[in-house]
Amino acid sequence: MQQQVHEGNGLLSRFSSQAGVQTVGQATSLLNIYGHNRLGGFDRKFTSEVIKNAFDAPPNINHQPRLNIETFKSSGNAFADIFNRDISKYDPKSNTATFAKNNYGIAAHELGHAEQYNQSRKHYKLRNVFKASRGLTSMNPAGLLAMLSPNESTASFAANLNLTTSLPMLYEEVDAGRRGARILSNTSSFSKLGRLSKLGALARPFAGLPSYLIMALLPYLQVQASKKAGDYKGTY
């Protein structure tokens, strides 16, 4: 195949090349956020057992405040919940897990975060690293540079930097899901499920993971789209 030398294209061309990746990525992320609570599953007894298992866990070795549970009634519209500041989260400072009422999958995930900070000295000591990773991934300054730069090496560096700074957050989210799945599996409600239903239940603590993965990978995919379109200087 004959290669051609490209002098690089303008900002509008790069936007155009990346538009498809951006649209699919953002749409998938928004869809995941919208369906987050629904994917978590609602069952009062299941949730009660998950919470009990969390309170029956080994003592807090990091001398945090006693574990606290706060719930909110989901409106059924995740964006309305967010507007009302009803967000599933775990706050290490107050040792508080917040989630939609009777949502056992999300409860298990947030209590998985509580277990991370209550039972792992290393995780607790690195809490500011995880916080910074989450903040940088959300603000995505490296991703913006990857979009704006006309130079492939700079754009690729920014995309790789975004992925690297996202790794602590991704680790924390996957580990919280793993811990949550274990908490969930140690309930009588789980033991009564069929094999396929058990697999589905174990996936529920990972309900929010797709949106985090998209935030981490989207700048890299944007760069690949512009490279394929020949937007950067070089030979293709």
Helix/strand/coil (H/E/C) assignment for every residue in 211-229: HHHHHHHHHHHHHHHHHHC
Pair type for strands 5-7 and 233-235: antiparallel
Phi then psi dihedrals of residue 86, to 5 deg: -95, 95
The number of folded domains in the chain is 1
- Nearest alpha carbon to residue 207 among 105, 130, 102: 105
The distance from CA 114 to its chain's CA centroid, rounded to whole angstroms, is 16
Reported confidence tier of residue 236, pLDDT bands at 50, 70, 90? very low
Whole-number percent of the chain with pLDDT over 70: 94
Kindly write down the DSSP assignment for every residue of 118-141, as one continuous string.
Answer: HH-HHHHHTHHHHHHHHHHHHH-H
- Nearest alpha carbon to residue 114 among 93, 143, 83, 142: 93
* Owning domain of residue 32: 5-235
Q: Evaluate whether 162 touches 137 at the Cβ level (below 8 Å).
A: yes
Residue-wise pLDDT tens digits, 57-103: 899 999 999 999 999 998 888 888 888 889 999 999 999 999 999 99
pTM: 0.90
Residue-wise pLDDT tens digits, 12-59: 787 788 888 888 888 999 889 888 889 999 999 999 999 999 999 899
